[in-house]
Amino acid sequence: MAGILELLTQDAIGLLSGAFSQQLWGIYFGGVPVIIADNVVEVQYRQQWSISDFPVERGAFESYDKVQIPYDARLRFTAGGSAANRAAMLASIAAVAGDTNLYDVVTPEAVYLSCNFTHYDYSRRANEGMGLLSVDIWMIEVREAPSAAMSNTQDPSGASQVNGGTVQTAPASNAQVTKFAASGLPIGGF
């Protein structure tokens, strides 16, 4: 009997502590949630890899590379109650959906970093109550290119070569023309 009471007490404490502790769900920027909503009712996460194939003899294929594709996440937020509450959720989404900031998708199990909005839509259905607004948000991982490493050399000739774009041709100097003429190769033709 003492064991059952102890288990019931632990369950009751667990339920109460779970009811008062706020779980982190949603889209965050700098540790602050950006969507004003009553609930996050669905989170989907998808990670894929692509394996490249190339044809070989007699119609066969060979796989040679595996590349990780940026993840995508889909979240469904809901807001009910007053029209002002539903409008606040739509306004909070519209305020951030078109920008280029990098956001984090946060769930209790994992945090998915560096993503941005690619799509959002909303619906209201009679079978869910016309006072409930559901908004689906799609996000995709944004991978930033690493910045170029710079070297600080004492002698400019020791610096690494940098290809900075299109190179314009320049006429040969007199010394170059003289050296080429001395080589015995014909000038101006092949």
85-126 per-position pLDDT tens digit: 999 999 999 999 999 999 999 999 999 999 999 999 998 777
* 87: Cβ contacts below 8 Å, ≥ 6 apart: none
Q: How confident is the model at residue 154 (pLDDT cuts 50, 70, 90)?
A: low
User: Hey, where are the domains in the chain?
Assistant: 23-141
Instruction: Report the range of poorest mean pLDDT among 71-75, 97-101, 119-123, 157-161.
Output: 157-161
Distance CA 139, CA 107 (A): 14
Whole-angstrom Cα distance, residue 31 to residue 28?
A: 6
CB neighbours of residue 32 within 10 Å: 6
Specify the fold of 23-141: Elongation Factor Tu (Ef-tu); domain 3 (2.40.30)
Alpha-carbon distance of 12 to 17, in angstroms, equals: 9
Number of Cβ atoms within 10 Å of the Cβ of 57: 5
Q: Does the global pTM surpass 0.75? A: no
Which of the four pLDDT bands, split at 50, 70 and 90, describes residue 8?
Answer: very low
